[in-house]
């Protein structure tokens, strides 16, 4: 797996797969983490958040919806990390 961003106990990684999950977001924190995915340039509803349970992960599927969600999470983490 290739790490894309690490920030505040979260790790966004590419799996290298083109089936199932192409990327994952790991939460290494002792509590759930919420990532804001509501940006002006995407189709998510205002206030949309992705929850990653404590010490768990979520996967991004290889379809259009999974890729759009990945892009929004990547953008949110990059902003939070100051990248």
66-82 tens-digit pLDDT: 998 899 899 888 988 88
Scored b (16 or more CB within 10 A) or e, 19-32 reads eebbbbbbbeeeee
Contacts of 49 (CB under 8 A, 6+ apart): 34, 35, 36, 37, 38
- The predicted model scores a pTM of 0.86
Give the number of domains in the chain: 1
Contacts of 71 (CB under 8 A, 6+ apart): 42
If you average pLDDT over every residue of the chain, what do you get?
88
What is the model's pLDDT at position 19?
Answer: 86
Find the domain containing 74 and state its range. 2-81
User: Both tokens of residue 25?
Assistant: 């977001």
């Amino acid at each position: 797996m290739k790490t894309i961003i690490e920030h505040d106990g979260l790790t966004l990684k590419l799996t290298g797969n083109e089936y199932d999950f192409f990327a994952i977001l790991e939460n290494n924190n002792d509590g759930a983490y919420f990532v804001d995915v509501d940006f002006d340039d995407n189709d998510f509803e205002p206030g949309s958040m992705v929850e990653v349970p404590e010490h768990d992960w979520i996967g991004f599927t290889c379809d259009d919806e999974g890729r759009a969600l990945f892009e929004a999470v990547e953008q949110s983490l990059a902003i939070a990390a100051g990248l």
